[in-house]
Amino acid sequence: MGERGFLQRTDQQFHWTNAGYASFDAFLAVLTARKRKTIRRERAEALANDISVHWLTGSDLTEEAWDAFFEFYMETGSRKWGRPYLTRTFYSLVGETMRDQILLVMAKRAGRWIAGAINFIGSHTLFGRHWGAIEHHPFLHFELCYYQAIDYAIAHKLPRVEAGAQGEHKISRGYMPTTTHSAHYIADPGLRRGIADYLVRERAYVEAVGAELAATAPYRKDFSLEPE
């Protein structure tokens, strides 16, 4: 697309790579001892208050489940993002048309749903998107959004979990900075020149930050995610 006149942009997301792990413990085994201990503690504390976690997909995606998840989305979205933009109808529509490609990771306590994270299931990737909660418990966000996604990917032999952009805290939980690419056609010549100049500097910045963040990886030094 660059050869056809599109401006090329790089950005950064955080992805977890499945190195053929048989279990979550097998994944933990390739981390440093300190990181293993931290993750085990976080997972235990997240579910300490009689919280149970459930995977909802396919026919499990009932209107009741969507009602609960929409409440999470509105509560957390209003507090964190300022203006939630998805409607309740959106969830019903994707539930009807994509139910086998959606995974809701939902937490329940005292007989009611209290938090959840939405994921979209691709052929090779689990795409984690937004989450929300009406009760706040230590590390529950990490459990629903990151650790449960890893569990699901391992169980279903998915090579990758894409946890989206932002959040350097994802690195210590096994999600590594990954360069993403996009292409953009700018018709106005003056605007195009200004954007092209900016993108040169932005690409250098993204590359430098990626290298710096990768150096903080939680994996043992004798382990590599790169294929042999």
Over the stretch 34-50, which tens digit does the pLDDT of each residue have?
999 999 999 999 999 99
Q: What is the mean pLDDT of residues 118-127?
A: 97
* ∠ Cα 188 190 196 (to 5°): 95
Q: Give yes or no for residue 228 having a pLDDT over 50.
A: no
Q: Say which CATH number the domain at 103 has.
A: 3.40.630.30
Residue 127 φ then ψ, to 5°: -100, 105
Let me know if residue 124 belongs to a domain: yes
In this structure, the strands spanning 160-162 and 125-133 are parallel
Let me know if residue 219 belongs to a domain: no
Let me know if residue 192 belongs to a domain: yes
Q: Give yes or no for residue 136 having a pLDDT over 70.
A: yes
Cβ neighbour number for residue 118 with a 10 Å cutoff: 23
Nearest to 27, CA basis, from 228, 219, 170, 222:
219
Let me know if residue 227 belongs to a domain: no
Q: What is the mean pLDDT of residues 169-190?
A: 95
**CA of residue 55 relative to chain centroid, distance:** 16
Q: What is the mean pLDDT of residues 132-148?
A: 96
Determine if the pTM surpasses 0.75: yes
**Which pLDDT does position 102 carry in this prediction?**
98
Let me know if residue 115 belongs to a domain: yes
Count how many domains the chain has: 1
Nearest to 163, CA basis, from 131, 128, 188, 133:
128
Range of the domain at 65: 2-214
Whole-number percent of the chain with pLDDT over 90: 89
Lowest mean pLDDT among 83-87, 89-93, 189-193: 83-87
